[in-house]
Chains A and B, each alone.
Chain A
Amino acid sequence: MKYSPTRMAEAKAEDQQQGQTEPHDGPFPHAEDDRSPEERLPVDPGEHHDLPDREHCEEILRKMLLIRRFEERAGEMYTKAAIGGFLHLAIGEEAAIVGATLAMRDTDFLISTYREHGQALARGTDPRRVMAELFGRQDGVSKGHGGSMHLFDIEKRFMGGYGIVGGNLPLAVGLGLASDYQETDDVTVCMLGDGAINQGNFGESLNLAALWSLPIVFLVINNQFGMGTAIERASAITDLSKRGDGFGVPGARCNGMDVLDTKDELENALRKAREDRTPQLVEAVTYRFRGHSMADPEEYRSKEEVEEWRRRDPITTFGERVKDEDVLSQDDIDGFDEEAQSTVEEAVEFATQSPFPDLDALYDDLYAYSGDEPGWYVVDERAPETHKGEDLREHSSDAMRELAEAGAAYAKVGDAEERRKRPDPDEGEEPSSGPRDEEGGGD
């Protein structure tokens, strides 16, 4: 039998009847939460914002639809084994992403988590190169070195996705410092999850940002779960906009399902950070409709809860509004949707055509060096031959080449068969087909 919050609450009640007292019940005062999905972290509808002009409504819809279609297609390509590793989709969070990025200037920095395809797309990174990165191809934004969790686009000032929860926060402080030091008026927007807020460097980063008056907006994308852990099982205070109070970072909460409310709140925060040199915290309350990553069986939440949130779909609700107020027609929206789908199709096409990185690219971009510095930068012991000498530095002996190819042959690239085989963990001895189920569980 699986864990359920209700069962837990019943068990606890039984324990109490048997005279067990509080301290023995375990550490989770919130675990017996029996509020309905609507009551649980209700989204404050936020202020009512008038629709912007037609052009802006179009832009908003186009961007949200592009992200939605991109994510759906990426999910499909993952099940076909064209994409490997972990794939974290942001379906449901489009309003938070688009609202926030629309409030930014082109010169502002954005730094994000591993759930960041949408952020890159919203900032204008070429969808083809984003998809190519997910495919691990040479034309990917990070040349195949990073994958889905580690996108980057220096030209768009998208300063990266990071696979370490909370790892981007100190970097945001540094980006803010660089802007301040160089006396620009650029602001850094740092996105983090509700789970990341419990890393120690959250407090350290906010304090330093406030102490040095740095132009940074910390945007918590509160989708109410960190993997399978509901926010009230991880955070003693669930109004995350208050978490900056003790550090001198004022906070605000917005409806992350409402693109206009998010945009408005971010505009306020960006202005304060830019003009008053006070870092800001904004919490956008939203929900991820899909699992944490592709392999998540989602046993930790009910279908009803997900359904309830799907009714607040940020794209549908915004679409309804622009139609109700006669700014755009259903035909217009359908047109944007088709455009989004064909852009994504092109991206898949491009990624499929792009070659895998050359095996010699393994050592590319590890160091910045011109080639005539003294000393060995790396050693390569994948192919030990005795007394190899300095030619190691070239990484190009025939033996090395052969072995690199022998290794790469284990990749069985794009073999969907292998992905289908994956559910049988008995196959785990083969290095390239073991269970790959972190953050997703069930193999």
Chain B
Amino acid sequence: MRYREALNQALREELEADDNVFIMGEDIGVFQGAFKVTEGLLEDFGEKRVRDTPISENTIVGAGVGAAMGGLRPIVEIMTINFSLLALDQIINAAASVRYMFGGQVGVPMVIRMPQGGGHQLGPTHSHCLEALYLHIPGLLVAVPSTAADAKGLLKTAIRDPNPVIFIEHEALYGRKGEVPENGDAEPMRFGEAAIRREGEDVTIVGISRQALVAADAAETLADEHEIEAEVIDPRTLRPLDLDTIIESVKKTNRAVIVEEGWPHGGVGANLAALIQEQAFDHLDAPVGRVTGADTPMPYSKPLEQAAMPHSEHVVKAVLSTFRDL
């Protein structure tokens, strides 16, 4: 099943399971979603539960927060993560804060879904990876699924969770196939549980969002060409973060490299590097390495865009540099 179909299935199952779940967003109904994640939902669930909205991101998200406070379980689709920046006010000042600032009297059980990522020449207003931005905000949960199974499992959990969840998909993953367990209902996937994609003794590579796949790719090259066995970890959710699994691994390998597509300053890797050195300084044989996207807006021109994104070669190089004699 493809990643986008897995998401569609999760939406369907949760719409069926709970009448208070509804979904709204731009072009999700008649148009069936800019990336076709909501395909067929309008037809099957009707206009009450699958609502096309005007192009008004801040208000759509805010209306979602209000609806959640009023007892519903809204899922808001934002077409692309860059457009969620128009809704930051409602996301940070409302969704993330309401429970806290009203002393727990009311919650915001909502999901804000959006895809991120470059590689399709969409240029500086449509291509960024902003998981670090959302990771920064207390009060939000942040999911970054990289496989079809995780997409489905985590989305179902997100919809049932009583907290506001920023659910970050990746544009380059929608068409990717993966095994998805039948009956996702049996065991909802938990937030805060990392997946170890590959076991290894020599270095820990943590890959975020689509970069979890790039990291796995690099691990194969490292094994084939450099006799380095990498352990590849996909945290799957950034808040809550399964730091224990990462630290356990680093204690075993004594080296860590973090791979993300977003920007370096204040990135997920910057944060994780700080946590790793705080928790496992004595176990490190080399500085924690980071591989990130270029520190620029995403350029349109194809060679520039690809040069701005991290690839397997970058990860291999970064890992090798942690083995350099100091």
Residues of A within 8 A of B (CB): 1-3, 8, 11, 24-28, 31, 84-86, 136-137, 140, 142, 144-150, 162-167, 195-196, 198-200, 226-230, 233-235, 299-300, 356-357, 359, 361-363, 366, 378-387, 399, 403-411, 413, 424-429, 431-432, 434-443
Output the nearest chain A residue to B174 by Cβ-Cβ distance: A435
Q: List 26 A-B contacts (CB under 8 A).
A: A136-B300, A140-B301, A142-B300, A145-B304, A146-B123, A146-B300, A149-B123, A165-B83, A166-B86, A300-B30, A357-B299, A380-B295, A381-B291, A383-B291, A385-B318, A386-B287, A386-B289, A403-B317, A406-B313, A407-B310, A411-B302, A424-B175, A426-B175, A429-B172, A435-B35, A441-B34
Provide the bound-state CA to CA distance between A311 and B189, in Å. Answer: 56
5 A-B pairs with the lowest CB-CB distances in the bound complex, closest first: A26-B47, A425-B175, A428-B175, A147-B300, A228-B31
- Partner among B26, B48, B175 whose Cβ is within 8 Å of the Cβ of A25: B48
Provide the bound-state CA to CA distance between A98 and B99, in Å. Answer: 53
Provide the bound-state CA to CA distance between A424 and B175, in Å. Answer: 8
Is A437 a contact partner of B35 (Cβ separation < 8 A)? yes
Within 8 A of A (CB), among B22-42: 26-27, 29-36, 42
B54 in the interface, Cβ–Cβ < 8 Å?
A: yes
Provide the bound-state CA to CA distance between A144 and B302, in Å. Answer: 9
Within 8 A of A (CB), among B299-317: 299-311, 313-314, 317
Is B304 a contact partner of A381 (Cβ separation < 8 A)? no
B210 in the interface, Cβ–Cβ < 8 Å?
A: yes
Is B79 a contact partner of A438 (Cβ separation < 8 A)? yes
Is A386 a contact partner of B295 (Cβ separation < 8 A)? no
Is B314 a contact partner of A407 (Cβ separation < 8 A)? yes
B326 in the interface, Cβ–Cβ < 8 Å?
A: yes
- Partner among A84, A150, A434, A440 whose Cβ is within 8 Å of the Cβ of B175: A434
- Give the interface size bracket for B toward A: 35 or more
Main secondary structure of the interface of B (DSSP, over half): loop
Provide the bound-state CA to CA distance between A424 and B2, in Å. Answer: 12
Output the nearest chain A residue to B29 by Cβ-Cβ distance: A3
Is B122 a contact partner of A438 (Cβ separation < 8 A)? yes
Provide the bound-state CA to CA distance between A8 and B34, in Å. Answer: 21
The interface residues of chain B lying within 8 Å CB-to-CB of A162 are: 125
> Shortest Cβ distance from A63 into chain B, in angstroms?
26
Is B304 a contact partner of A359 (Cβ separation < 8 A)? yes
Is B303 a contact partner of A359 (Cβ separation < 8 A)? yes
B173 in the interface, Cβ–Cβ < 8 Å?
A: yes
Is A362 a contact partner of B296 (Cβ separation < 8 A)? yes
Is B306 a contact partner of A434 (Cβ separation < 8 A)? no
Provide the bound-state CA to CA distance between A45 and B306, in Å. Answer: 49
The interface residues of chain B lying within 8 Å CB-to-CB of A409 are: 306
Decide yes or no: A229 and B309 within 8 Å by CB, A428-B176, A431-B172 being known contacts: no
